[in-house]
Structure formats: C-alpha cells, structure tokens
Structure 1
C-alpha cells in the first residue's frame, strides 16, 4: 500500500508539473553571411520556433569559412552562397557538401543615366560590364537574356566578349572593375552593376534598372547546403520548410525592395 501511494503521489506531481515544463527544441546550427543573410534568418528562426526548432544563427564575415565549418561538422547547415560558388568550392576543396534547397538571388541589373529603357539605347552605345570572368559573364548573359546580344552555343555561365555572335546595335563593351562601374555611369551609356555596388550608389534594382535578371532558372540563386550524408535529414528538411514559408517570401519581397528575390 505504501509503495502504491508513493507511485500515485509521484504520478500526480508529474501531472501537475507537466504543463509548466517546455519540451526541448531541436537545435540546428546554420552559418550565414552578415547583413541581409542574417536579417532573413532571424525571421526564419521565428517560423522554425513554431515547429519546435531552435535555429542557432552563426554569422560569418568571410566567404570561405562557412563551407569549411560545415564540412568539418561545426555547422549543421549553411546559407550564404550561390550554386556556382558552391560547385567551385566542392571541386577545389573536396568538400562533401551539397545544396538541399533554393533561397534567394541578388539580381544583377543594367543601369543608365542617359536612357530610361532598353529600346532607347543607341547604336554603338558604350556598355560597361565587370572585368572579372564570373561577373562579366553574368553581365553578358543578362544582355543576351534581354535580346541585346546573342552568345555562342554551349558557352555556359562564363561567356566572354569574344563569345558574342550577334550584336545588332553594335554595342561597345568596356570591361571595368565591378566596384567602379557605378562611378563610371556618367561616362557610359549603360552598365551592368552587381546589386551590392548598385545599392552603395543609391541605385535600387526594382526602381532604377532598365534590365534585370529573372528569378526563373537563375544559375546564381543562393542555396541552403548540408553535408552529403545529411541531405535527406528530416530535421533539416523542416528548416528548409521554415525558410520557404510564405511569410518569409513576403518578408523578403517587402524588406529588400527587389535587391533580393525569392527563388523557390
């Protein structure tokens, strides 16, 4: 009888305490870049919390450390890079990591102080593009996407000026350091400018560009990455679901005014 009463009292105490005891949340460490990436993931953290997930946002101000940390097991996921960058890191570093979800793209745009529409560009107009292979190629792809030029078949994501096969307006390309293109707009008819440099020059992609990348099938979309062995981890898939929630889509569109666009 005494044992029964002790068990009964223990059960009663557990029942009384249960409503006040919170279940431990699943913890996931995510490496992100400072600035916009951190802002978005603080919102994702709130959505994930409703599903019992504690997203621990680890901020990096370096583009090399997040993949090294993920590969080493110091992170569960990271979200800071576009697909070509990840593919290059895997190839050159031998990392066993892979993309598991799409996030956002920072669209590159064509800007001008002399015309307000693509159709107004005159023959032989001088168009600035970044002088590095990755961004220069991206700029040429943008011009091709909007019908200003045609590129050699199968050129991939790194076309060069010599790969231009058709140039109806006979545009004159000036290859300039990406960071200097916004400052060079006065001397050009138009220039392809990365979003980060455009924003520094008070140029907003959604407001000021005369041509901008589309989100559909954009090879420069950013991703959430995981170790290959964890690509189907159910907990990480729940984090992806939190990121791709409609509340996050709406937040990105409102908060960044076209500087970042969701690509899922």
Structure 2
C-alpha cells in the first residue's frame, strides 16, 4: 500500500517537473505579437507548453531580458534589427523562425498625399538604425529623397544625398511616433505601433511597403534554448495554418504571413 502511494507521488512529481520545464516566458509588443501569442496559447497548453507572455512598449528591453536569461524568448523584431542589436550590445541572440511582415508606412494628420508635402516639411522617423534606415528607404522609393547608398538598411539622415524639398528630419523613439502626428507633416511608423494607435495601415498610410519587404518579424531566443522541445513547439504553432488564417482575417493586409 505504501509502495503504491510512493509510486503515485513520484509520478505526480515527475508530471509537475515536466510541466514546469515546459513553461516559456516570451517578451512581446502588444500588437500584433502578443495577440498572436494569446491566440496560440490554449493550443500549446494542451500540448504541455505553458506560455507566460509579457508585454513591452519598447524595442530594447525585450532583447535585454532574453540575453540576461530573465525571459526565454521574444517576439517583436525583424532580423536586421536583431543583427544590429547583437553587434551594438555584444549579445548572441538568434532567430528561431520567421512569422510575419508588418509593412512599414508613412502617416500624416495634415496632408492627404505625398504630393502635398511642401518644401521644408517636418518628417519624424524612428531613431534606431534599422527602422530609421527602413523609413528612409521607403521615402527614397517614393521619390522624396535619394540616399548615397540606395540600399543601405542602416541609413540615417546624414546619408541623404539629395533632398529636393529640403525636408527636415526628426529621429524619435519608435513607440512615440503616433503621438507626434499632429506636430509633424509626416511620421514614419512601424505597423505594430500604428495598429496600437488605432491607425489602419492599408487605409491610412500615404505609402506602405509591399509584401516583398525583407523585414520579417521573428521569434528570438538564446542559442542554448533555440532547439528545445518547448521552443520548437512554439515555433511550429506560430507558423501553423491556424495562425496564417488568424493573421489574414484579423489584420486584413496590415500584417502579412511570411510562411
């Protein structure tokens, strides 16, 4: 009788240990990343992987938290940003899987088309290297500026070779850009922050990246936990047909599946 009880207790302890080992903490920005994670959370729980989702409002702490081992993974960034962060901070974070593209856009509360952008107009862009460069590349594509190196993804306003309308550039924290729409003529905004601010990229953006964008948003981890069973289960869920349909139906082109 005592032996049977002992076996039962050991089995319960083992089950608890497995469950605890399969808990994943994931840092994410609110829209669409945390929403996608919340969508797959119940299905992963059924497979023994518990997601602990922490929402962040900036682009630095999610990487810091993972690099320091405080969180297991993050889901908020594209590969060029990750590469730039690793180089600048000496971290070794890695991409696990690509999930979606958030087409970058130009927004305004003062003009209805880029043709109406007057000489000397103010333009706000993200102040991190990859997203700032992404903004400038989009403005170059629209014919508003020319860069010294037309393909440099980390371009800054100092890399502008031609600026016929003498646009005045302000580099600001990406998360703050929707809040300055009424203070500048044009703001170059990441789609996650545009969606959080109630903007509809496919309707409100004066220019929007196409589906060919190389800025695929990725699940990121440390090298040592990239291939764990739990992380691979999360990667599989994020690239499932169910998530693809969720993205297409919920975001209606503002977010595009990359798989």
Q: Is the TM-score greater than 0.5? A: yes
Shift of the 161–81 alpha-carbon distance from structure 1 to 2, 3 Å rule, reads closer
- Tell me, yes or no, if structure 1 residue 251 matches structure 2 residue 251: no
What are the within-5 Å matches in structure 2 for residues 23-62 of structure 1? 27-33=22-28, 35-36=30-31, 37-49=33-45, 52-61=47-56
TM-score when normalising by structure 1 = 0.70
Q: Distance in 2 between matches of 1:201 and 1:54?
A: 32
**Gaps (5+ residues) in structure 1?**
1-9, 11-20
Q: CA offsets per residue over residues 45-83 of structure 1, 9 Å max, x none?
A: 234346x24232231436544434434444433223333
- Tell me, yes or no, if structure 1 residue 206 matches structure 2 residue 205: no
Larger gyration radius, structure 1 or structure 2? 1
Give the C-alpha shift of residue 43 in structure 1: 0.8
What are the within-5 Å matches in structure 2 for residues 26-105 of structure 1? 27-33=22-28, 35-36=30-31, 37-49=33-45, 52-61=47-56, 63-105=59-101
Shift of the 184–177 alpha-carbon distance from structure 1 to 2, 3 Å rule, reads farther
Give the C-alpha shift of residue 166 in structure 1: 5.0
TM-score when normalising by structure 2 = 0.71
Aligned length: 237
Q: Distance in 1 between matches of 2:43 and 2:258?
A: 19
Check conservation: 1:42, 1:57, Cα contact below 8 A.
Answer: no
- Tell me, yes or no, if structure 1 residue 150 matches structure 2 residue 149: no
Give the C-alpha shift of residue 152 in structure 1: 2.1
Check conservation: 2:73, 2:221, Cα contact below 8 A.
Answer: yes
Shift of the 182–54 alpha-carbon distance from structure 1 to 2, 3 Å rule, reads same
Q: Distance in 2 between matches of 1:156 and 1:72?
A: 30
- Tell me, yes or no, if structure 1 residue 175 matches structure 2 residue 174: no
Shift of the 184–123 alpha-carbon distance from structure 1 to 2, 3 Å rule, reads closer
Shift of the 138–56 alpha-carbon distance from structure 1 to 2, 3 Å rule, reads same
Give the C-alpha shift of residue 128 in structure 1: 1.6
Q: Distance in 2 between matches of 1:224 and 1:131?
A: 22
Check conservation: 2:126, 2:132, Cα contact below 8 A.
Answer: yes
Q: CA offsets per residue over residues 188-228 of structure 1, 9 Å max, x none?
A: 3x443444664566432111112112343433x32111221
Give the C-alpha shift of residue 147 in structure 1: 4.3
Give the C-alpha shift of residue 234 in structure 1: 4.8
- Tell me, yes or no, if structure 1 residue 132 matches structure 2 residue 127: yes
Q: Distance in 1 between matches of 2:126 and 2:95?
A: 28
Check conservation: 1:71, 1:227, Cα contact below 8 A.
Answer: yes
Give the C-alpha shift of residue 162 in structure 1: 4.3
Structure-2 residue corresponding to 1:263? 258
Give the C-alpha shift of residue 177 in structure 1: 5.3
Give the C-alpha shift of residue 141 in structure 1: 0.9
